[in-house]
Structure 1
Amino acid sequence: MSDAVTSDARNWLDKAAIDRSVGELRPDYRALLIVAEGLRPGPSDATSEARLAAAEATVRERVRRAEAGDGAPVAEHPHLVAWREAFRAFGAKPQRTRPSADALLRRADAGLPRVDRITDVYNAVSVAHVLPIGGEDLDRYAGPALLTRADGTEEFDTTAAGEPVVEHPAPGEVIWRDDAGVTCRRWNWRQCTRTRLTLDTTRAVFILDALGALDDRALTAAGDALCEGLTALAPDVALTTRLL
């Protein structure tokens, strides 16, 4: 990839921010942002399947050990517990709107969804490393990413009964947003349709969410695993990172 493209990615990352209101809510929160340029999108394939299968095997082994009395149940992982607490702190009910990693892990033993090769790779890392990860099409962003608390007037593009609709977050809800509206509701619960990954996505941003129960070394390891997975999909991918 050219230096100009990498410079654009760095400039966008440098403008990403976490609002003070979120820091006051959870001072232990960090976000690792990874911009990937030169991705090769497409349907799920053998490469992404192998990574999902390995992640599923990891979860099944954790379940087996827990059932044998060697460790806590997967649902009681300290990082998942911390995320449920964070959701409750801004008024969400995690038993109804689960943190994304929690929702994925509950499906892993029976089989993770197969979506597309890029989504499959980051879902596999999310499950294996027990942290929420979101992936979005950078070309569909309007300005930089901001994690903040909603005032309730922001627009969130989604679908209901197969039809496009615009919703609004609850006042005080933690949201990722850009200049056009909400890109992800309830911190990492649901992404909007406007910036979601598609089979045409070649430039994406991935957001890895960590609370204090997941230390910086573990967060870095998850980021390294995602970078390795994206490189397996596209050997010439350009990767730029920033820790917020």
Structure 2
Amino acid sequence: MFAVADEVLDLCRAVGHEATVLAVLADGLRNGPGDPKLLHDAIQAAGDLSAPHPHLEAWRDVYRAFGAKPQRTPCSAEALRKRASRGDVPSVNRIVDAYNAVSIRFAVPIGGEDRAALAGTERLVRAAGDEPFDTVKDGAPAVESPEPGEVIWRDDVAVTCRRWNWRQGRRTALTGTTTSAVFLLEGLDTDLHPPAEALVALLDADSATIERLA
């Protein structure tokens, strides 16, 4: 159901980094009210959020390698930690707070997808440039396409996340009725098992397993 293209791994190696992708597959998920304390504790554990972080610097290298500008569109973990440093990470619900807390604490990009909304195999590839991506622009639903060569997650229907982990599409986003999800943890030159295990511990689910995709 999931795959990572060699061309993406080769892109990372070309700029001196080794990429790893882990999937946390959770079934029987139970959502609930958000937990602001969970986010507060993660921010405290993360230390100085405004200081340079080697993992985020590595992501900047990779973003530049496929033509993105990390100052304008940073990876999801960098964007989240910047918001956290300004006190701008609101509590949403238990599931979203859980993976945001882990992302902030470990400086690791994490994306959550509703598995029931996925079509076929979700794969990490470089874009042709004509794939549809459903998003919101100026407050209204819109469809756009990635740049050719951009790293994207996509399934058999369309793009599910642009610029590797920058912006998720609307179709597969987690909702209050999601009971089966995949959480994608992505790392460069780092061990992703500690954040994956931390996420599993926070999820209220009948089962949650960790699978290495790359």
What interval of TM-score do these two structures reach, taking the shorter chain for normalisation? over 0.9
Superposed CA RMSD in Å reads: 1.3
2:168 equivalent among 168, 191, 209:
191
1:229 equivalent among 197, 202, 214:
202
Where does 1:1-244 land on structure 2 (aligned, <5 Å)? 12=1, 16-27=2-13, 28-44=18-34, 48-59=35-46, 62-63=47-48, 74-111=50-87, 112-212=89-189, 214=190, 216=191, 219-230=192-203, 234=204, 236-244=205-213
- Write out per-residue CA displacement over residues 105-147 of structure 1, whole angstroms, 9 at most, x where no aligned residue: 1121332222221111100000101110001111100012100
How many residue pairs match? The answer is: 208
- 1:242 is displaced (CA, Å) by 1.0
Give identity over the alignment, percent.
50
Whether the aligned pair in 2 keeps the contact of 1:159 and 1:165 (CA below 8 Å) is yes
Q: Report which of the two has the higher share of strand.
A: 2
**Counterparts of 2:57 and 2:51, CA distance in 1:** 8
- 1:223 is displaced (CA, Å) by 0.5
For the pair shown, which has the larger CA radius of gyration, 1 or 2? 1
Q: Which amino acid aligns with 1:229?
A: L
Whether the aligned pair in 1 keeps the contact of 2:75 and 2:165 (CA below 8 Å) is yes
Q: Which amino acid aligns with 2:44?
A: A
Whether the aligned pair in 1 keeps the contact of 2:50 and 2:85 (CA below 8 Å) is no
Q: Report which of the two has the higher share of helix.
A: 1
Structure 2 stretches of 5 or more lacking a match?
none
Whether the aligned pair in 2 keeps the contact of 1:19 and 1:146 (CA below 8 Å) is yes
Q: Which amino acid aligns with 2:4?
A: I
Q: Give the TM-score, by structure 2 length.
A: 0.93
Q: Give the TM-score, by structure 1 length.
A: 0.82
Displacement over 3 Å in runs of 4+ = none
